[in-house]
Amino acid sequence: MNDTPANSNKPGAVLAQERARQNLSVNDVANKLRISIRQIEALEADEYDKLPGVTFVRGFMRNYARLLQLDPEPLLQASGMHTGVADLTPVGGVPNQRVRLSPEPRSSGSSGTRGGGGRKLLSAALALIAAAAAAWWIWQQWQLRQQGAVADPASTSGAVVSQPVQSGDSLSIPVVIPGAGAGIDGPAAAAQNAPSSAPTGSGAVTSSSAGASVAVPLGTATNAAAASANSAAAAAQTQPATPAPLGVIRFEFSGAARVEVRDKNDFVIHEELHKPSDITEIQVRPPVGLVIGNAKNVKMHFNGRPIDLTPYTDVSVARFTLSDPE
């Protein structure tokens, strides 16, 4: 990495100057870091009160510095991210509320003994209040995570073939036809149709799929399965996968809610505690995973199409995967 420019400049100015030197626009950086333009502008202006909190400021600044091939540590120190500032933002409370704890100076002399004792009591009381606030905030976070602990079943788009079972003079090979699973995967996915049965004669193989049954001669069952697997592998090699088109997710908040969006590589695209009346738009490339706390306070649209969060909500947390847009 390159050395960070002189520390006499503020971190935001350092980032802005290096971005300009590399001929990058604010929009370029926002697209590469997958955060909003207003968050990039707040970082460059050192307006940290406009960002979600200390943890997010540190993450945004670290990712921004690495994108510009700068050492993030001097920037974090210059921004005050290494000071004793604790972010004690409760769920649904006012964001970016901070409490600074600093030791009281000792008093000397006989006249300062009584005053020192009073200051010690005051410091102890403040410490207890801060500890209680921190414990309450941690308990709130734990409650929210417990509510979303039940994860939705993972979506599948391929076929799972179980081991063949031979009974008497017939061999049963279950086959699931691929192609299902496009769209939104979650607890409300449509149930598969019950497989229908077909009579088979002596020395026959029954291959069952969703809603279909095919009789295959026993002598050719193994060869047919192998040929099908080879054909699928050859098709996968000859047809390179094309990336899904970009889409836009729009969130509208009627109350406080936390939103987390991750791409298919589990990289965090967006993670923020939103306030009532917030409106946020995020550009994504499906598939993406979403976790939305207090889902009843959120209206979601994808490419202008409303998404009902109710089928994917357990208690108050919605968890689901948004697949390729229609």
Nearest 5°: the CA angle 253, 254, 260 is 30
Q: How far apart are CA 295 and CA 310, in angstroms?
A: 8
Looking at residue 159, its pLDDT comes to 39
Find where tokens 């049965």 sit. Answer: 197
Domain 11-83 has CATH 1.10.260.40: yes
CA distance 28 to 60: 15
Q: Give the bridge partners for 293, in sequence order.
A: 317
User: What is the pLDDT at residue 41?
Assistant: 92
Q: The domain 247-322 is classified under which CATH number: 2.60.40, 2.20.70, 3.40.50, 1.10.3470?
A: 2.60.40
**pLDDT at residue number 324:** 67
- From first to last of its 326 residues, the chain has per-residue pLDDT tens of 544 444 447 888 999 999 999 999 999 999 999 999 999 999 899 888 888 888 888 899 899 999 999 999 988 888 876 544 434 333 333 344 343 434 444 444 444 445 566 788 999 999 999 999 999 899 888 888 887 654 444 444 443 444 544 554 444 444 444 444 445 555 544 444 444 444 444 444 444 444 444 444 544 555 656 666 676 666 556 555 677 788 999 999 999 999 999 999 999 999 999 999 999 999 999 999 999 999 999 999 999 999 999 999 998 999 999 986 55
Domain ranges of the chain: 11-83, 87-100+127-144, 170-177+199-219, 247-322
**Token pair for 45:** 């202006």
